[in-house]
């Protein structure tokens, strides 16, 4: 079974293909093509909206921290939220910058590396956001929101014990979430979204992205064998 012999047959078939393939030119109309571009633009638009919203939150939190700087029990939760939002903005801007550099007209190995690096970054951000988000957006958010919006001291109303237990549980939830997701990542068959979430928490998709980046590097290298 010689490839060069089969290549001749391929070329013969190729000469007949023009007559045997039909292209629907009605779908190649600019209006329809531009409509199909929308999902590609959606990522940039949604990321932009997310960054804009996060900047507003950052300003609000900044004012709260400034007002309560002398009260660490309020300032510290607000600072933890602040840091999380800054990290989110930085990650979003980095993703947008990477996405803008992707030009499908460039050589395959180069572009696939860029695409996979962007995918790996996005997966890291999602995993980080899921695992740490519940830590800062539960008790710290509750303390800041109650004080900031209604002048209610959560430490007095809910008690230090309640708040401490919940923070400890949020911390314990991180390794538990990773363990559960690894156990059930391949079992959440009914829901593609559920399965994807499990796999992202477990780090499987990130491992796959890293694996493909390694494959691309190997593919690029010349073998001496």
Judged by the rule CB under 8 A, the positions of this chain that interact with another protein are 1-4, 6-7, 9-14, 16-25, 27-30, 33-34, 36-37, 40, 103-112, 115, 192, 196, 212, 215-216, 219-223
Residues in Cβ contact with 180 at an 8 Å cutoff, skipping those fewer than 6 apart: 201
Burial of 81 (0-12, 13-18, 19+ CB in 10 A): buried
Which CB atom, from 62 or from 211, has the smaller least distance to another protein? 211
* CB-nearer residue toward another protein: 151 or 222: 222
Min. distance of Cβ 191 from another protein in angstroms?
12
Least distance between another protein and beta carbon 4 (Å) = 8
Q: What's the min distance (Å) between Cβ of 111 and another protein? A: 5
Report the distance separating Cα 81 and Cα 83, nearest Å. Answer: 5
CB of 179 to another protein, least distance (A): 23
Sign of CA dihedral 136, 137, 142, 147: positive
CB of 35 or CB of 183, closer to another protein: 35
Instruction: State which residue, 36 or 59, has the beta carbon closest to another protein.
Output: 36
For tokens 């047959």, the residue is 9
C-beta separation of 43 from 97 below 8 A: no
- Cα–Cα distance for residue pair 169/172, rounded to 1 Å: 5
Residue 126: CB minimum distance to another protein, A: 12
- Residue 25 or 156: the one with the smaller Cβ distance to another protein is 25
The CA distance from 165 to 182, in Å, is 26
């Amino acid at each position: 079974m010689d490839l060069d012999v089969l290549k001749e047959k391929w070329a013969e078939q190729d000469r007949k293909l023009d007559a045997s393939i039909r292209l629907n030119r009605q779908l190649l109309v600019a209006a329809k093509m531009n409509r199909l571009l929308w999902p590609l633009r959606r990522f940039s638009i949604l990321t932009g909206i997310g960054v804009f919203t996060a900047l507003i939150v950052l300003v609000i939190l900044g004012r709260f921290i400034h007002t309560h700087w002398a009260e660490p029990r309020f300032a510290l939760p607000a600072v933890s939220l602040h840091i999380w939002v800054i990290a989110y903005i930085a990650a979003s801007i980095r993703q947008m910058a990477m996405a803008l550099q992707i030009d499908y007209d460039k050589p395959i190995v180069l572009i696939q590396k860029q695409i996979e690096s962007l995918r790996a970054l996005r997966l890291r951000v999602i995993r980080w956001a899921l695992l740490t988000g519940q830590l800062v957006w539960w008790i710290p958010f509750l303390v800041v929101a109650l004080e900031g919006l209604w002048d209610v001291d959560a430490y007095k109303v809910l008690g230090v014990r309640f708040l401490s237990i919940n923070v400890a549980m949020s911390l314990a939830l991180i390794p538990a979430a990773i363990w559960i997701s690894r156990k059930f990542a391949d079992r959440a068959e009914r829901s593609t979204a559920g399965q994807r979430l499990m796999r992202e928490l477990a780090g499987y998709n990130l491992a796959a992205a890293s694996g493909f980046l390694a494959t691309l590097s190997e593919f690029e290298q010349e073998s001496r064998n």
